[in-house]
Chains A and B, each alone.
Chain A
Amino acid sequence: MNIIVCIKQVPETTEVRINPETNTLMREGVKSIINPFDMYAIEEAIRLKERFGGKVIIVTMGPPQADAALREAISMGADEGYLVGDRAFAGSDTWATSYTLAGAIRKIGQFDLIICGKQASDGDTAQVGPGISTHLNIPQVTYVKKVEEATDKSMRLERMLEEGYEIIETPLPALLTVVKEINEPRIPSLKGLMRAKNAKITVLTQKELNLDPQQIGLCGSPTQVVKIFTPTPRVGGQILEGEIPDIAKKLVSLIKDEVN
């Protein structure tokens, strides 16, 4: 089973700060890590490879330093890494990113499965995975929390819902996005780290991919960020004390005041 895992390098979750003047992420001095949700995608792909054979190919779109994210995935047990990087792709929103990644995946070639994390911890959109499946015209199953059964032709999956889960069967090739309940990502081995250090990372630029210039980068991105802000924390509520009938009356009058 050949599995492609799409990952993103993000600023370490707890350290994200936003520049209040420019509304952009302040990345200076902040450590970059693999998006935590993508770690589950990498782990699940490696587990499937261990069961079925084949290989795990990691793809990321980003600046040259995203090379480190690919090597980290290889140290866990992935086989190959592709860095989709070109100035022409800069400024991509989720639409342009999924279009570009779909193009890169076509270029990489034959695959049975694509796995993504459910969303990135910096943007939180959860759009790129589904976007890739749409561009590639393959089925998608989002929020997968368990692979129930898998063959080289189809998969039976548990998909997490807000209350409970549903079981979905899909033919392959397909795209899954996974949630943290699916597994516990492994710690790399020393042999894996050595392999990752010497692994060849293939860089794919616009020259290799030859994508529609109107659909990539800033120009291919219909999203416009109007404003980024941190919601003000909710202030503590008011606790009413006394006899129930009195409290009920008081509550009704408070609600009325609020509405008016």
Chain B
Amino acid sequence: MDYLLTEEQKMIKDLAHKIAEEKIRPVAAKYDISEEYPWEVLKVMGESDMFGLFIPEEYGGFANSTMNLCLATEEFSRACGGIAVCYAASALGTIPIVLFGTDEQKKKYLPDLASGKKVAAFAVTEPEAGSDASGIKTVAKKEGDHYILNGLKHFITNGGDAETYVVIAMTDKTKGARGASAFIVEKGTPGFTFGKKEDKFGIRASSTRELIFTDCKIPAANLLAKEGMGFIVTMRTFDMSRPGVAAQALGIAQGALELAVKYVHERVQFGKPISSFQGIQWMIADMATSVEAARGLVYSTARMVDAKVKDVSKESAMAKMYASDVAMKVTVDALQLFGGYGYMKDYPIEKYVRDAKITQIYEGTNQVQRGIIALKIIKEMAK
């Protein structure tokens, strides 16, 4: 389907495709096994201005656009969902600074993030605060011109490898959600250490670690927005980044579909390529149609975000939920088309199933997304 991309968008998509095919696909299996952080690939992405896609030009970026981020993330994910999420998670850690940072904060942090010299991470989740972000226990206490952070974040993508962290902590526990604030914390700050690195089912090239804050003293100037804005920062960031996760799911689905189509074309049984059997053809048709439908939803949402439509929570949730459900279904079907070979690690397809699963879980489980969508619709009806 033709999505009538602009010249610039086509250029971004083509360049991301080139990086995916030449630099990501050849090393995808290696990093899936080793679980090392794929610095060599991130360096190429940085040199190609890919980290600048979600950062305004005046801070060393290329253009601040969710559509750009989606196009790049989709292409990277076609080749490896794990390496792609290292990239997308840096976007997630950068977006709050782009949205809420002061000019000074932007000047200090964005140029290095735009060039890929540094990677970012966003830290909300805690052991007892997953879908329910109001359960956050990490606290930030103001002392003079500093804040003292104490607490534990976990399941933080890029944790340990990122240099720049946006951390949500409670500045006033009595106010509940309105007592949370967002802070920029640099790696190396005394009192800021890392816990265990998770051993994951999929997206194994990306790092997932605990962040531990023990009397971690950060300058008051590192507060993002104002005290009490932590949840607004989080929600606005997720509204912008959810199309990115949706694009990751979309790319994983697209990548699995391509591998499956190629395989059924080459695999001969009963004297014919199995692509000549109607049972296989119908599966391919259904897979391709659902991927295309997901793409339509993801791109439309990304365009709404870029057009600065005021409230995109419903569409963002729809795109993330639908694309990730499609990714799960399509990758499982793709593995089915590979038959017994698909189940073997010598073939690339089983990794797509593992990489797809997380997209239904993180940045709000798909059950939470359905809640957001339903509430919005009911509210709209009541108006």
The answer to whether A187 touches B47, judged by C-beta atoms less than 8 angstroms apart, is yes
Least CB separation from A193: chain B residue = B11
Residues A190 and B47 in contact, CB atoms below 8 Å apart:
no
State in angstroms the CA–CA spacing of A91 and B196 once bound together.
Answer: 67
Pick from B7, B19, B62: contact of A187, CB under 8 Å:
B19
Closest to A196 in B: B11
Q: When the two chains form the complex, which single residue of B11, B22, B23 contacts A190, counting CB atoms closer than 8 Å? A: B11
B31 to chain A, nearest CB (A): 18
Chain B residues positioned under 8 Å from A194 (CB to CB): 8, 11
Report which residue of A186, A187, A190 has the largest number of chain B beta carbons within 10 angstroms of its beta carbon: A190
Q: Which A residues between 161 and 193 are near B, CB-CB below 8 angstroms?
A: 186-191, 193
Nearest Cβ on chain B to A192's Cβ, whole angstroms: 8
- The minimal Cβ–Cβ distance linking A185 to chain B, given in whole angstroms, is 10
Interface contacts (Cβ under 8 Å), in number, total: 31
Q: Tell me if B49 counts as interface (CB < 8 A to partner A).
A: yes
Q: B280 an interface residue at 8 Å Cβ cutoff? A: no
Q: How far is the CA of A186 from the CA of B47 in the complex (A)?
A: 9
CA–CA, A185 and B275, complex, Å: 38
Identify which of A187, A188, A197 contacts B23 (C-beta below 8 A). Answer: A187
Enumerate chain B residues within 8 angstroms of A191, measured Cβ to Cβ.
Answer: 49, 62
Asked if B48 CB lies within 8 Å of chain A CBs, one says yes
State how many residues of chain A have any CB contact under 8 Å with chain B.
9
Q: Is B293 in contact with chain A by the CB < 8 A criterion?
A: no
Which range contains the number of B residues in contact with the other chain? 10 to 19
**Are the CB atoms of A193 and B62 closer together than 8 Å?**
no
B25, chain A: closest CB distance, angstroms:
14
**Which residue from B8, B22, B47 sits with its C-beta under 8 Å from A189?**
B47
Q: How long is the Cα–Cα vector from A60 to B92 in the complex, in angstroms? A: 44
Q: Write the A201-219 contact mask toward B (1 if CB under 8 angstroms, else 0).
A: 0000000000000000000
A187 with B44: CB separation less than 8 A: yes
Q: Could you tell me if A190 and B62 are in contact, using CB atoms closer than 8 angstroms?
A: yes
Nearest neighbor of B44 in chain A, beta-carbon distance: A187
Please name the residue on chain A nearest to B7 by beta carbon: A197
> Which residue of A is nearest B72, CB measured?
A190
Expressed in whole angstroms, the minimum distance between the Cβ of B26 and any Cβ of chain A is: 12
Q: Which residues of chain B are near A190, meaning CB under 8 Å?
A: 11-12, 15, 48-50, 52-53, 62
| A-contact bits for B1-43, CB 8 A (1 contact / 0 none) | 0000001100110010011001100000000000000000000
Residues of the B chain whose Cβ atoms lie less than 8 Å from the Cβ of A188? 15, 48
B191-234 with Cβ < 8 A to chain A? none
Bound Cα distance A70, B255 (Å): 32
Task: Looking at the assembled complex, report how far the CB atom of A183 sits from the nearest CB atom of chain B, in whole angstroms.
Answer: 14
Cβ–Cβ contact B49 & A187, under 8 A:
no
| Alpha-carbon separation in the docked complex, A191 to B63 (Å) | 11
* Cα separation A186 to B53 with both chains bound (whole Å): 19
Per the bound structure, the CA–CA distance linking A187 and B22 in Å amounts to 9
Cα A188 to Cα B52 in complex, Å, equals 14
Q: In the complex, how many angstroms separate the beta carbon of A78 from the nearest chain B beta carbon?
A: 16
**Closest chain A residue to B8, Cβ basis:** A194
A187 to B52 Cα, complex, angstroms? 16
Give chain B residues whose Cβ lies under 8 Å from the Cβ of A193: 11, 15
Contact B11 A187 (CB under 8 A): no
The distance in angstroms between the C-alpha atoms of A188 and B48, with both chains bound, is: 6
CA distance A187 to B53 in the complex (A): 16
Chain B contacts for A189, CB-based, 8 A: 47-49
Chain A residue at minimal CB-CB distance from B22: A187
B295 to chain A, nearest CB (A): 22
Instruction: State the CA gap A186–B48 with chains docked (Å).
Output: 9
- Chain A residue contacts of B62, Cβ below 8 A: 190-191
Interfacial chain A residues near B7, Cβ < 8 Å: 197
User: Considering the chains assembled together, what is the distance between the CA atoms of A111 and B107 in angstroms?
Assistant: 40
Complexed CA–CA distance, A197 and B15 (Å): 14
Closest 6 CB pairs of A and B: A190-B49, A189-B49, A189-B48, A187-B48, A193-B11, A190-B62
With A187-B23, A194-B11 known, 8 other A-B pairs at CB within 8 A are A187-B18, A190-B15, A190-B62, A191-B49, A191-B62, A193-B11, A197-B7, A197-B11
Chain A positions within 8 Å of B, measured between CB atoms, are 186-191, 193-194, 197
A-B contact pairs, 7 of them (CB 8 A): A187-B22, A189-B48, A190-B15, A190-B52, A191-B49, A191-B62, A193-B15
